[in-house]
Amino acid sequence: MTVRPGQKGTAGVEEVPRPDPHDGALLVRGRAIGVCGTDREIADGAYGTPPSGEEQLIIGHESLGEVLEAPVGSGFAPGDLIVGIVRRPDPVPCPACAAGEWDMCRTDGFGERGIVRLHGYGSEQWRVEPDFAVPILPRLGELGVLLEPASVLAKAWDQVDQISRRAFFQRGRALVTGAGPIGLMACLLGAQRGYEVHAVDLAQAGRKRDLAEDLGVRYHAGDAAGIDVDVDVIIECTGLGSVAHSAAQRLASGGIMCLTGIMNLDAALDLDATTMNRNMVLHNQVLFGTVNAGRRHWEQAAEALATADPGWLTGLITRRVPLASWTEALDRQPEDIKVVVDLTA
């Protein structure tokens, strides 16, 4: 699965060299790749960087593969299902990367497989370092491809948990804006924590609503401003400033709001910074942003998937395309939630 970053319309399938042993001691047979908005941005020429000295990038950062070769003592063995972690530390490194917290990198010197400066996992074989591989329970099978999006939400919720320890806090209600793959994963992790989860999305009916309601989530179709309850936590997953602004009106005193999405589609927002300042100060609120995931979040995500209902997780994967026609995964279809490329087909 290749693309020339910066050049729209270059996504396709090409023969590439065998994976370089320098990319990691584990040799892996690629099984599946999940496709997300970042991949669409790269394919549109709007994002992504090839490795130094190359024009082409092997895309694919939501991975699942089966170990073919593993050195003795690596902790892995042939046949193991694994997912490759996306980010690698800034080689310089920055102080956060030096402390092993490369998801909190202080520079833009990090690499990300399939996105920035490093080839991704969208090939029939790939390599990964044992320290950047996460084991997947055999019974999860194909559902392991959901680990990367789950890791991003595991970090978001882990940060909420840590911030909530600053003072008195009760796990009451949580609101998730957007019921796509990221929003539904946010709902799952919130429900697992015991929150009364509410979700808001524009879709009146359909699979997104069904999946949210299957978790016991209270689903609201329409505008976040129309929600009739106040909430202790908001996980914003649309990337739309107007949605974040509406949702923030429902944040209770002492509440925590997490931004996970970025979009460039929103019209300029008329934000009253004075009112926002006043509301946040008088109500002890926290607003924070989060990106990527550290090693412990990948492990938390693996635990969350292992605990979830496999039937529900299967419902998130709405379309599968074979490697030869993987670019069809980039075209959004109305009922899509997570589209997966089958690297074995």
Rounded to a whole number of angstroms, the minimum distance from the CB of residue 166 to Zn ion is: 26
CA end-to-end distance (rounded Å), the chain: 13
Burial class (CB in 10 A: 0-12, 13-18, 19+), 234: buried
Q: Which is nearer to Zn ion, 105 or 237 (CB)?
A: 105
Residues of this chain that bind Zn ion (CB under 5 A): 90, 94, 97, 105
Give yes or no for a contact between 152 and 182, defined as CB atoms under 8 angstroms apart: yes
Least Å distance, CB 100 to Zn ion, is 10
Closest approach of Cβ 298 to Zn ion, in Å?
A: 18
Rounded Cα distance, 300 and 150, in Å:
9
Q: Which is nearer to Zn ion, 90 or 158 (CB)?
A: 90
Q: Which is nearer to Zn ion, 89 or 180 (CB)?
A: 89
Would you state the torsion angle of the CA atoms of residues 230, 232, 233, 239, taken in this order, to the nearest 10 degrees? 30
Q: CA–CA separation, 27 vs 267, rounded Å?
A: 46
Give CA–CA dist 72/101, Å, rounded.
27
Closer to Zn ion by CB, 80 or 90: give it: 90
Phi first, then psi, for residue 341 (nearest 5°) are: -95, 125
Provide the 3-class DSSP secondary structure of residue 335: coil
C-beta closer to Zn ion: residue 94 or 143: 94
Q: Find the shortest distance in angstroms from Cβ 58 to Zn ion.
A: 23
Least distance (Å) between residue 238 CB and Zn ion: 28
